[in-house]
Amino acid sequence: MVFGFGKIGIGKVIAFLVLIIVLIQIWHIGMLTKHERMTLPNNQKNEGQHGKVRLLISKIENAHVLDSSGSYNIITDIFCHEDSSPTLQNDVTLVSQTSSNNLDDVIALSERWDGAISISVFTHFKDLQFAMDKLLHLHLCFPKIQNRVHFHLVYPLDNDISLDELKHNFASSNCENSMKTFHHQNYEIEGIEYPHNLLRNTAVKFCKTSYVFLIDIDMLPNKYLRREFNTFVQSFKNDSVVFVVPSFESKDDAVIPTDRTQLLRNWRLKKIRPFYFDVCQKCQRPTDYDQWQFLPDSSHLNIAYFVQREDAYEPFYIAKKDFPLYDERFKQYGYNRISQVCEMNIAGYNFGVLNNAFLIHKGFKYRDGFHKNKEIENNRNRDLFQQFKRELRTKYPNSKRSC
């Protein structure tokens, strides 16, 4: 035998080859999961990082888009990547806004929400370096963030941003360590007003899906909300309806529930309570937590009941993207969502509460846990809200509703 297979037998050779192929496959799968955990080889990572830094710097250098007041620069989709998740007709983008110090919350959001996410980030000249380092770190070290999250930057125009310094000071991202975080509140950035509503509008306008779901950055929705909503809304045709997602807050150390059964259990154990339970009960009361709690079990997402807007109501909801946007004159604390919900009401929208959907704020909120200027800001925005309501009467002359 020329090839010497005589004694071994062709069957054994084939078995041997199959074994080799199986081993290669196992090794390959091992490599893939490793890649999922995102430890890119260092040279590849650095190359990616340098490219991203160049892109970021050139975007800041060429930033020309201002907000309507002419005082903020806006850069949308700073990493400008292709979204790898398919965009369905009835899909929902998760939308939020934050200052750079709460950016770590995006990690949990990208774990929970398996579709597109649009996040506006507020920064200013003292903070820009940190914000950039942090964004780059999240983008390079977390594949789900890289694939799903579109970040937009908003910063005051009158700040001297030194790009030369920025170019040279980028920290090298090390995915094994998490980055340090500053612990100041969004409202406490020295001398700079936090423009919630500009940030919200920027993130909403960017969305490519038919629906958006705007939440606070430190909240989490139930696990399969996006999937269940896609199915539900296919057969729901009434554009006047927005879908209220009941919101709760969870004790600091408690595990955040993923479904309604877990939520109800934690609620009985007092680890969960309605959102703003201590801060502002009337802000959520119309959602009617008693009714929601005792809904019959259902395997399908649906509207359980409709509610009327009352004074100070500020629910979180999923809506068709073309709803009335947020008034950007509201900055700092107070009335920034209340005013928008008031306009929705006057514009004729109806509030349907979803049975199996919920949103959970991480941590209980307390009335005295706010920053020192909260009351001053709240009073100023209350005056602005009175003016806003007068303007709505002109904007919607035929509306039979008021707020």
Sequence-ordered alpha helix ranges (H) in 62-217:
105-112, 128-141, 143-148, 163-169, 196-206
> At a CB cut-off of 8 Å and minimum separation 6, what does 172 contact?
46, 49
**For residues 35 and 103, what is the distance between their CA atoms, to the nearest angstrom?**
23
Ranges within 222-241 binding ligand NAG (CB under 6 A): 238, 240-241
* Between 125 and 305, CB nearer to ligand NAG: 305
Backbone angles phi, psi at 100, to 5 degrees: -65, -25
* Between 241 and 344, CB nearer to ligand NAG: 241
Answer yes or no whether residue 306 interacts with ligand NAG by CB under 6 A: yes
Four-CA torsion 152, 155, 160, 165, nearest 10 degrees: -30
Answer yes or no whether residue 378 interacts with ligand NAG by CB under 6 A: no
**Beta carbon of residue 282, minimum distance to ligand NAG (angstroms, whole number):** 23
Answer yes or no whether residue 379 interacts with ligand NAG by CB under 6 A: no
Ranges within 324-353 binding ligand NAG (CB under 6 A): 350
**For residues 351 and 354, what is the distance between their CA atoms, to the nearest angstrom?**
10
**Beta carbon of residue 353, minimum distance to ligand NAG (angstroms, whole number):** 12
Q: Total residues contacting ligand NAG (rule CB under 6 A)?
A: 5
* Between 220 and 307, CB nearer to ligand NAG: 307
Helix and strand numbers, DSSP H then E, in the chain: 12, 13
Answer yes or no whether residue 304 interacts with ligand NAG by CB under 6 A: no
Query: What is the DSSP pairing of strand 303-307 with strand 350-354?
Result: antiparallel
Token pair for residue 285?
């009361």
* Between 138 and 241, CB nearer to ligand NAG: 241
What Rg do the C-alpha atoms of the chain give, in angstroms? 25
**Beta carbon of residue 238, minimum distance to ligand NAG (angstroms, whole number):** 4
Token pair for residue 198?
């500009």
* Between 240 and 298, CB nearer to ligand NAG: 240
Which residue type occupies 307? V
**Beta carbon of residue 400, minimum distance to ligand NAG (angstroms, whole number):** 13
**Beta carbon of residue 210, minimum distance to ligand NAG (angstroms, whole number):** 17
**Beta carbon of residue 143, minimum distance to ligand NAG (angstroms, whole number):** 41
Q: Footprint of ligand NAG on this chain (CB under 6 A)?
A: 238, 240-241, 306, 350
